[in-house]
Amino acid sequence: MQIVSIARPELEQALRAPERLREYCGKLEAGDILFFPETPISITSDALGFLLGHQQVGGAYHKNIAYRPLEDRITGFDAQNGPAAERLRGIMRRYSSDVVAFLREFLGPYQARWKVDYASYRPEEEQTRDLALRKRNDLLHTDAFPTRPTHGDRILRFFNNINPSRTRNWITTDTFDVLVNKMNEGKLDGGRVPLPSSLQPSSIKQTLAGLGFGRLAPSLKRSPYDEFMMRFHNYLKENSSFQENCPKQHWEFPPGSSWMVYTDMVSHAVLSGQFALEQTLIVSKDAMVRPEKSPYGVLSRMATAV
Nearest-approach distance from CB 236 to Fe ion, in angstroms: 10
Of 20-28, 41-49, 116-124, 136-144, which segment contacts Fe ion by CB under 5 A?
Answer: 136-144
Residue 77: beta bridge partners? 57
Task: Between 227 and 278, name the residue whose CB sits nearer to Fe ion.
Answer: 278
Question: Residue with CB nearest Fe ion?
Answer: 143
* Among 21, 10, 265, 4, residue whose Cα is nearest residue 154: 265
Q: CA of 151: how far to CAs of 63, 64, 141, 161, in Å?
A: 24, 25, 19, 30
**Residue partners of 188: CB distance under 8 A and separation at least 6:** 179, 182, 239, 242, 246
* 236 SS3 class: helix
User: What would the x/- binding string for Fe ion be over residues 146 to 185, using CB under 5 A?
Assistant: ----------------------------------------
* 282 SS3 class: strand
User: Does 117 engage in binding with Fe ion (CB under 5 A)?
Assistant: no
Instruction: Give the pairing type, strands 258-262 and 154-161.
Output: antiparallel
Do 158 and 24 meet the contact criterion of CB atoms below 8 Å apart? no
Nearest-approach distance from CB 155 to Fe ion, in angstroms: 9
Nearest-approach distance from CB 205 to Fe ion, in angstroms: 26
User: Does 264 engage in binding with Fe ion (CB under 5 A)?
Assistant: no
Task: Between 157 and 221, name the residue whose CB sits nearer to Fe ion.
Answer: 157
Task: Between 142 and 163, name the residue whose CB sits nearer to Fe ion.
Answer: 142
User: Does 143 engage in binding with Fe ion (CB under 5 A)?
Assistant: yes
Residue type, 124: E
Task: Between 122 and 293, name the residue whose CB sits nearer to Fe ion.
Answer: 122
Interaction site with Fe ion (CB under 5 A): 143
